[in-house]
């Protein structure tokens, strides 16, 4: 049997880790949860006209339900981390998914715009916390040298949702009524609860953890630099993704039938990028972040250049989310590292920052389009956001190296 030394990042011991088969099944259960969340988060965008018609408001007004969900993610991550700091992680995961089930059921039965909006806010609350706690559980279960791949496997469900879950739920909502899509999510989230209960090993609570200690993460400059890198740098991808439909048709000169192909390319890019992210993370989190953020910025500029060529832009549209997914997974790991004892809030805040990136990228993209700069402009703005994110990551690396030298830190926390 291997040594009982603990994993410096998570506290797990090798003797606590399950067999390879049990680990695979646990990762499947956690990925099912991320697939469920990814499906319901993005299907709202595809069904926005149907939802607007169903509750009697305009499409722009109905768009506020997307903002309400994002706000729920931002609010829920620190609040749930504060309240659930001592909770056993498997039990917390089941509880979070139970809340998600109820919120989506409320969405499905809501009869007014105000109630739908409130339900989407409630659905957003457990989002970040689920991904954060699931990532911590995955890192605990895996060997230290494979924790990057373990976290990536959890995130893979979110990527697959964009290829399978969102199109399927959108089709269902268009043909069976928009409420059916949210009932489907209720089924998926109920399934997730069962799988987590059956397949994820039990984990004890942390009696030493407190809500106040979790909130101390926000006193860390490293935490803020990492959150800013996500909220700003990842916004570059959303600046393009939000307006991909008119960009493809009006700038690329392609028919509306090309839009699903570009969306599929984005979804497949997320899947490939999430898998690649796990491999790169186990090599170097910092170098992966720096390279993928800078690479995404350059790829966005390339997209602006080649989109007038129509189909020539398709490979570039695939490459953007590949690099973006590498950013997401490595930001998750970086936050888990820099949060110190505040593991829950550190892991949960990643998706809060990514939802802020979604809002920022979409807003700035809309600003430059409204200013008359055309549909290529969001890609240029996105490249600028990536450059700013690169700046924050570089600042984090410089600060880390300085602190490491001052504290004479051991090798296991040096910049890899």
Question: Which range has the top average pLDDT, 2-11, 163-172, 274-283, 377-386?
Answer: 377-386
pLDDT computed for residue 4 by the predictor? 39
> CA 264 → CA 117, 143, 252, 314, distances in Å?
28, 34, 17, 10
CATH 1.20.1250.20 domain residues, the chain? 19-199, 209-407+412-416
| Token output for 413 | 């926390």
Q: Which residue has the tokens 């490249």?
A: 383
Q: Which residue has the higher pLDDT, 144 or 226?
A: 226
| Token output for 407 | 């504290």
Residue 15 has pLDDT above 60, yes or no: no
- Distance (Å, whole) CA 377 – CA 366: 9
pLDDT band at 207 (very low <50, low <70, confident <90, very high): low
- Nearest Cα neighbor of 382 from 317, 335, 329 is 317
DSSP one-letter string for 116-164: HHHHHHHHHHHHHHHHHHHHHHHHHHS-GGGHHHHHHHHHHHHHHIIII
pLDDT computed for residue 7 by the predictor? 46
**How many percent of the chain have pLDDT more than 70?**
90
pLDDT computed for residue 3 by the predictor? 38
pLDDT computed for residue 125 by the predictor? 93
The CATH architecture of the domain made up of 19-199 is Up-down Bundle (1.20)
**How many percent of the chain have pLDDT more than 90?**
35
pLDDT band at 211 (very low <50, low <70, confident <90, very high): low
pLDDT computed for residue 12 by the predictor? 45
pLDDT band at 208 (very low <50, low <70, confident <90, very high): low
Residue 13 has pLDDT above 70, yes or no: no
Contacts 24+ apart (CB under 8 A), 167-171: 167/46, 167/260, 169/39, 169/40, 169/43, 169/46, 169/47, 170/43, 170/46, 170/47
Give the CATH superfamily of 209-407+412-416: MFS general substrate transporter like domains (1.20.1250.20)
Please give the model's pTM, rounded to 2 decimal places.
Answer: 0.78
Residue 11 has pLDDT above 70, yes or no: no
| Average per-residue pLDDT for the chain | 84
- Distance (Å, whole) CA 342 – CA 338: 9
pLDDT, one tens digit per residue, over 317-353 is 999 999 999 998 898 888 888 877 777 777 778 888 8
pLDDT, one tens digit per residue, over 76-101 is 888 887 787 778 889 999 999 999 99
């Amino acid at each position: 049997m291997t040594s009982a030394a603990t994993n410096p990042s998570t506290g797990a011991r090798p003797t606590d880790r399950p067999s390879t088969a049990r680990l695979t099944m646990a990762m499947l259960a956690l990925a099912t949860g991320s697939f469920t969340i990814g499906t319901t988060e993005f299907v709202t965008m595809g069904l926005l006209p149907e939802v607007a018609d169903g509750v009697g408001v305009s499409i722009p007004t109905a768009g506020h339900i997307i903002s309400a969900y994002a706000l729920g993610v931002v609010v829920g991550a620190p609040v749930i981390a504060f309240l659930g700091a001592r909770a056993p992680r498997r039990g917390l995961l089941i509880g979070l998914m139970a809340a998600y089930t109820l919120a989506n059921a409320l969405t499905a039965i809501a009869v007014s715009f105000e109630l739908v909006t409130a339900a989407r806010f409630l659905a957003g609350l457990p989002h970040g916390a689920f991904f954060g706690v699931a990532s911590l559980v995955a890192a605990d279960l895996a060997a230290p040298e494979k924790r990057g791949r373990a976290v990536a496997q959890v995130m893979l469900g979110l990527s697959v949702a964009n290829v399978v879950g969102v199109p399927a739920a959108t089709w269902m909502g268009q043909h069976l009524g928009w409420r059916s899509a949210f009932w489907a999510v209720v089924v998926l989230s109920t399934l997730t609860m069962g799988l987590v209960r059956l397949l994820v090993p039990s984990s004890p609570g942390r009696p030493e953890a407190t809500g106040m200690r979790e909130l101390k993460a926000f006193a860390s400059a490293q935490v803020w630099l990492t959150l800013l890198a996500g909220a700003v740098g990842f916004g570059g991808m959303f600046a393009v993704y939000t307006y991909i439909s008119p960009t493809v048709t009006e700038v690329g000169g392609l028919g509306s039938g090309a839009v699903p192909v570009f969306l599929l390319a984005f979804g497949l890019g997320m899947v490939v990028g999430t898998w690649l992210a796990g491999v790169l993370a186990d090599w170097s989190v910092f170098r992966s972040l720096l390279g993928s953020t800078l690479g995404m910025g350059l790829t966005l500029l390339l997209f602006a250049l080649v989109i007038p060529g129509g189909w020539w832009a398709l490979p570039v549209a695939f490459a953007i989310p590949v690099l973006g997914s590498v950013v997401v997974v490595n930001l998750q790991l970086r936050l888990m590292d820099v949060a110190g004892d505040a593991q829950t809030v550190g892991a949960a805040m990643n998706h809060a920052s990514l939802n802020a990136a979604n809002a920022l990228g979409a807003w700035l993209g809309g600003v430059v389009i409204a200013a008359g700069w055309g549909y290529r402009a969001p890609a240029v703005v996105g490249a600028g956001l990536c450059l700013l994110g690169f700046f924050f990551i570089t600042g984090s690396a410089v600060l880390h190296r300085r602190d490491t030298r001052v504290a004479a830190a051991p090798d296991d926390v040096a910049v890899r």
